[in-house]
Structures are given as C-alpha cells and as structure tokens.
Amino acid sequence: MVRVRQIMKDEGEFLDAAKVSDLEKGAMRSVELKGIYVLIANVDGRFCALDDRCGHMNALLSMGTLNGKIVTCPFHYAQFDVTTGQKVKDPVTESFKGMDKLPEEMQKFLIFAKKLVDPVKTYDMQTHEVRVEGNKILVRI
C-alpha cells in the first residue's frame, strides 16, 4: 500500500494532546500536533488517535460523525475504524435522487465533479499510539 507519510511504531515522541475530562465517551476532537491534524476519539473509554485528514480527499474527519468506533467523513461519507485506521466503507459518489430537477448547469457541474472524484483511491488512515497519564491524553507523533 502506498502512503504519503509512514510512521513506524516506537518512532516519535508522546505529546500532550487533550484532557480526558474534555472528551466524554462517543466524543471526538481535532488537535494540531507538530503541524499534523490528529483526530482523538473516545470509544467507550478507550482513546484512539488517527490523522484527521480523510484517506479519500483530505476532508477533516472530525467534522463528520462518530458512531461507536466508526467515523464517517462529512464529504463523501467514507467510513473508517478509529481503533485501527482501516477503511470500512468506500465514499459515496453516485448521483443523488432529485439531481435531474436541478438547473442544467448545476447538473453538468456535478457530473464533471463525479468524473474527477470517482477514480480517487481511498486509503486506510494512519493511527497514532495513545497513552493516558492522569487527566492527560498523550499522542505519539
């Protein structure tokens, strides 16, 4: 698999990323660590961290929704397991119901946009090791 950025286990340092008390179960938030947007999620009391840029077209996953351990991208609805970073559902790029009722120029634009988006491959997400110390959530970057 091709990845833009590869991080090896035991590489990097743990950085103070968030407070346990600020992230209740089922919540997620984005933090910037060393210039990288990282999504931190609380899955039933377990904290997970992964890059906060969708493996499809870089939308911020933290602006999507978290359901259990599955985050859904707000842009084309690809889904990822936040505990592993694995893609579990491809993006939705099909035409939508009622598109034929839109003005012709808008329909042409959407058809063009679909041609651009369809061939884009969706990658698994890079995860980051997490450690909890007291009220601190530390993420290895």
Q: Which residues bind ligand FES (CB under 6 A)?
A: 54, 56-57, 59, 73, 75-76, 78, 91
Token digits of residue 131 = 């450690």
Q: Which is nearer to ligand FES, 49 or 61 (CB)?
A: 61
Least distance CB 100 / ligand FES (angstroms):
23
Least distance CB 90 / ligand FES (angstroms):
8
Q: Going by C-beta distance under 8 Å and a sequence separation of 6 or more, which residues neighbour residue 59? A: 53, 73, 74, 75, 76
How many other β-carbons are positioned within 10 Å of the β-carbon of residue 110? 14
Q: Which is nearer to ligand FES, 16 or 118 (CB)?
A: 118
